[in-house]
A and B are shown apart, each in its own frame.
Chain A
C-alpha cells in the first residue's frame, strides 16, 4: 500500500483556483502525516562556495514513477549552478510556507502564485523571463500566474479534471455518461451495487479541503456558471443556483451512491481501476495508469452543467508553476534556472508533461504537437480543457477556502441548510477580503 502521495493532482487542484498561501491551493495535508517543522535540514542556496551558485529547488511529490528522477536529471543538466532538488512527500504547503519565511528556504519552488504572497513580498515577478513566451501561453494560464498585471510563475504543467466512467459498467446498467447534475445523481444511484459505488469524488464527499480534499468546491459553483470570487474580487458563491447545486451533492450523500473511505483519495485512480466505483472524478494525469489497468474500458466527460439551461460543463484549470522566493540569496541565478528549464528547455518540458502522468504542456506550441494527447480519451480531455477550463484566480486564499469548505461540509455532509451556511462563509470571507485588499 503506497502512501497516497500523488499530490500533483491535489495540488493542481489547489492550483485550480484554490490558490493558497504559498502553494497551490487547498491547504495541504496528506496521509503521510506530521506537519513539516520548517526546521528542515536543507539550507537554501547559500551563495555557493565555488564559482557556481548553489540553488535549492523544491517540489511536492508527484505520484507517478520516474518524476523525481526526471527533475533531478534536469537539475544535473543545468550548467550554470549546482541545483539541489528537494522532493517533499506529505504536507508540502506547510513546508513551503515555513521555507518562504527565511533565506534558508527554497530559491525556487513550485506552487501557484497568489495575491497574499505577493503582498507579503515572498515571491518576485518573472515578467522579464516570461515575456518572450507570453504569447505561447493560454489566457487561462496567464491569468493563473498574474497578480496585478505582473506574472509571478512559469507554468510547469497544466492539469484538468474529468469524470472517468467505466464503459462496461454503464452499458450493463443501461446508463449514459451524465450531461447534467440530475443525470449525474441518477447515474450514480443506478450504478451503485453492494460492492460498487456509482461515483467517487473523494473520501470527504468532495467538500472538505485538507491536503487533497475538496474536489467539488469549484465544480459545484462552475456547474451554475459561478466561481469562488468574481473578476473584481467579490464573493460569487451565493444565490439560489448555488444552493440548488449543493443540494445535488447532498443528494449523492443521502443516496449513498458515492464511495467513501477508500484507501486513496480522488486524485489517485486506484478506486476506479480496482472497480470500487463506476465513475470517478480525477485528473488527466491519471490516464496512463488507467489505460494500463483497464485498457480502453473507460471514457471521460467534463463535470456536467447544472441543467440544460443553467451553467456549462467545466474542468479545473490546474497545474503547477515555478516561482522564485524573494528571500533567496540568489534571486537572479534562480530566475535564470527557471528560464532555462520551464521557458526555453522544450525537450525537458515535453518529457515532464508527457512521459509520466499526462499533463497538457503549458506552451501552446508544445501542446499542439503532443502526439500522446491526440487520440482517444486524452484528446477528448484536451478538448474539454481548451473549451471549459476555469481558473480560480489568484485572490482566493487557503483561509477563504477553509471557510467555504466548512460551509460546504455542513451542507453536504451534515445536511444543514445551504443559505445560512453560505451566508456565514460570505461574512467571514468578506472580512478576509477587506484585510487583503484594504
Chain B
C-alpha cells in the first residue's frame, strides 16, 4: 500500500489520466510504457480502478444515502439530514443489536484469545508432529461460516433426539434441549460462540506462533541463568510481555471480527430479536425493508465505532504505530 504514495510525483505533473499505458515520464511521448511511472500505473492502475469502483464509490454512495430518504430506491431525491441517524439511535432494535454485539464480544473475544494463545504455546513446545497439529487446528479457518453454521444448526445443535449434543446428553438421561430456541437460559449463545470459536481459533493461533517465534531465545537463557522457573513464571515474565504487540493486534482483530459478525447469526438465528447483531439488523433493514437510507446510516455508525475503537487502542497500546 505504501506504493500509493507514488501517485504524488506523477500527480504533480498533471498527467494522471484514467488510462494506464499512455502516461510516461515527461519528454518520452509516444514511447508507451516506459520507466518507473508507467510500470507503476500498469501494476497499480487496474487494482486502483477496481478499488475505486467496488469499494470507494459504494462507500461514498452509502454516506449520501444515509442522509436521504431512500425507501425502495438507491437513487433518492429527498434529503433528510440527520433524521436516519436520530431514528436509529433512539432506543430500539438498532441499539439492542449493539447490546447483543457487546454480549457476544464479551464471550468470544477473551475466549478466543486465551484458547489460541494456549494452543500456540503448546504447539511451540512439542517436538514431534508440529506441522501436523498446526494444520489440524488451522484447517477450520478454511471452512465457510455458512457451511459451519449449517452443520451446527442441523446436526450438532438441533433440538431433536438425533442431534449430536442431545444424543450425548441422553446418555446421561437428560431430555432433549432446543439449543437454538431456548431464550431462558439463552443456550443459543453456546452454538453461536462455539461455531465462531472453532472457525477462527486456528487463525489467531498462527498469529501467536509467529509472535512466539520472534522472541529471542537469549531471553529464556538469561531467565534460566537468573533462576526463573520454567513454566508459569517464564511465561508470565518473559513470553507474555514479549507478545504484547501480537496480543494487541489479535485483540483488535477479534474485536472488529466480532463487530462484523453476520454469517453465523444470520444462519443460526435468522431475524431474531434474541440475538441480532448490528449487521444482521442492517441487512434486514436495507434488503428486507428496502430502507436503504437507514441501512446506510447504520453502516456509517458502525464504521465510525470501529474507527473510534481502533484509534482508542492506538492511544492506549500503540499497535499499528512504528514498530516497537
Contact = CB atoms under 8 A, between A and B. Distances in A.
Interface string B246-273: 0000000000000000010011011111
A27 B288 contact: yes
B189 interface: no
A33 B290 contact: no
Contacts of A108: none
Nearest to B270: A210
Contacts of A413: 181, 183, 274
A5 B139 CA distance: 29
B289 interface: yes
A397 B273 CA distance: 18
Given A35-B266, A261-B160, A406 B273 contact: yes
Provide the main secondary structure of the chain A interface. loop
A101 interface: yes
Main SS at interface, chain B = loop
A399 B154 CA distance: 28
Interface in B160-208: 160-161, 163, 175-184
A203 to B, nearest CB: 6
A101 B271 contact: no
B287 A31 contact: no
A208 B271 contact: yes
Contact of A117 (B72, B161, B274, B283): B72
A116 B290 contact: yes
A303 interface: no
Contacts of A101: 73-74
A398 B285 CA distance: 9
A97 B288 CA distance: 7
Interface residues of A, number: 53
B18 interface: no
B284 A263 contact: no
A210 B271 contact: yes
B289 A397 contact: yes
B319 interface: no
Q: Which of A195, A208, A211, A259 neighbours the largest number of chain B CB atoms within 10 Å of its CB?
A: A208
B287 A33 contact: no
A65 to B, nearest CB: 20
Interface string A11-36: 00000000011100001110101110
Contacts of B153: 31
Nearest to B75: A101
B234 interface: no
B61 to A, nearest CB: 12
A262 interface: yes
A116 B160 contact: no
B150 interface: yes
A327 to B, nearest CB: 10
Interface string B279-303: 0000111011111000000000000
Interface in A106-132: 116-117, 119-120, 122
A8 to B, nearest CB: 18
Nearest to B287: A94
B93 interface: yes
A1 B267 CA distance: 16
Contacts of A29: 266, 270-271
A415 B263 CA distance: 28
A260 B181 contact: yes
A117 B289 CA distance: 11
User: Which of B93, B157, B271, B291: most chain A CB closer than 10 A?
Assistant: B271
Nearest to B263: A33
Contacts of A195: 161, 176
A415 B283 contact: no
Interface string A394-415: 0001110011011001100111
Contact of A21 (B176, B178, B267, B290): B290
A122 B290 CA distance: 12
Interface string B56-74: 0000000000000001111
Contacts of B272: 204, 208, 210, 213, 409
Contact of A93 (B149, B158, B269, B287): B287
B17 interface: no
Contacts of B73: 101, 120
Contact of B159 (A31, A260, A398): A260
A45 interface: no
Nearest to A117: B72
A261 B182 CA distance: 9
Q: Which of B93, B184, B291 has the most CB of A within 10 A?
A: B291
Contacts of A386: none
A384 B157 CA distance: 37
Given A204-B270, A402-B289, A410-B273, A120 B161 contact: no
B44 interface: no
A262 B154 CA distance: 8
Contacts of B271: 27, 29, 208-211, 213, 402, 405
A119 B92 CA distance: 26
A120 B183 contact: no
B287 A98 contact: yes
Contacts of B111: none
Nearest to A122: B72
B238 interface: no
A351 B184 CA distance: 47
A175 interface: no
Interface of A: 1, 20-22, 27-29, 31, 33-35, 38, 93-94, 97-98, 100-101, 116-117, 119-120, 122, 194-195, 203-205, 208-211, 213, 259-263, 276, 397-399, 402-403, 405-406, 409-410, 413-415, 428, 435
Q: Which 5 A-B pairs have the closest CB atoms?
A: A261-B159, A210-B270, A120-B72, A27-B288, A260-B178
30 contacts: A20-B288, A21-B288, A27-B289, A29-B271, A31-B154, A33-B146, A33-B150, A35-B287, A101-B74, A120-B72, A120-B73, A195-B161, A195-B176, A203-B181, A204-B272, A208-B271, A208-B274, A210-B270, A259-B160, A260-B159, A260-B181, A260-B182, A261-B159, A261-B178, A261-B179, A397-B289, A405-B271, A409-B274, A410-B273, A413-B183
Interface of B: 71-74, 92-93, 146, 149-150, 153-155, 157-161, 163, 175-184, 263, 266-267, 269-274, 283-285, 287-291
Given A205-B181, A261-B159, A405-B271, 7 more contacts: A93-B287, A117-B72, A204-B181, A204-B270, A210-B271, A259-B159, A415-B184
